[in-house]
Amino acid sequence: MTASVALKQDAAPWGLLTSLDLYRCNPETIRNSEKIKAYVRELCLRIDMKPFGECQVVHFGQDERVAGFSMIQLIETSLISGHFANLTNNAYIDIFSCKPYQPDHVVAFTKDFFEAEEADVHTVKRM
């Protein structure tokens, strides 16, 4: 069964998703669980999000292509997640919240924190 919901074109979004693909990050930062947790704490402060529970950071992956830390932090308005790939020193981070925030601030802070040489960013309004 499929349900459809008609939305007004000018309706406010239900939430905002910012996806960051960061390339050639500082390898010492992306391989340090405490630094990843510090990033999440500071990000929550900067975008005024309230963490729900502890930030989970786990290292796994037997396949060298995907091995690295993965992170998830529930926030009262949704979640922040990421994966940090050891092989390439790349990071893939998603911030989704139904509370508004400034994606440009997230991008600048995140790129700076992980010392990424480049970043691809996609922002999607969830209706």
Q: What CATH code is carried by the domain that includes residue 42?
A: 3.60.90.10
User: What whole-number distance in Å separates Cα of residue 105 and Cα of residue 53?
Assistant: 24
SS3 49: coil
In a domain, 69, yes or no: yes
Q: How far is CA 43 from CA 1, 10, 109, in A?
A: 40, 29, 8
User: How many domains are contained in the chain?
Assistant: 1
In a domain, 102, yes or no: yes
**24 lies in which domain range?**
15-126
Yes or no: say if 110 and 23 are a contact pair by the CB < 8 Å rule: no
Residue 28's nearest CA partner among 40, 20, 36 is 36
**Six-digit token string for 105:** 């601030």
**Six-digit token string for 121:** 């960013």
CA 91 to chain centre: 9
Query: What confidence tens digit (pLDDT) does each residue in 45-99 have?
Result: 999 999 999 999 999 988 888 899 999 999 999 999 999 999 999 999 999 999 9
Query: What confidence tens digit (pLDDT) does each residue in 2-54 have?
Result: 444 444 556 677 899 999 999 999 999 999 999 999 999 999 999 999 999 99
pLDDT value at position 9? 57
**Six-digit token string for 45:** 């402060």
In a domain, 1, yes or no: no
User: What whole-number distance in Å separates Cα of residue 109 and Cα of residue 123?
Assistant: 16
**Six-digit token string for 2:** 């499929």
In a domain, 83, yes or no: yes
In a domain, 44, yes or no: yes
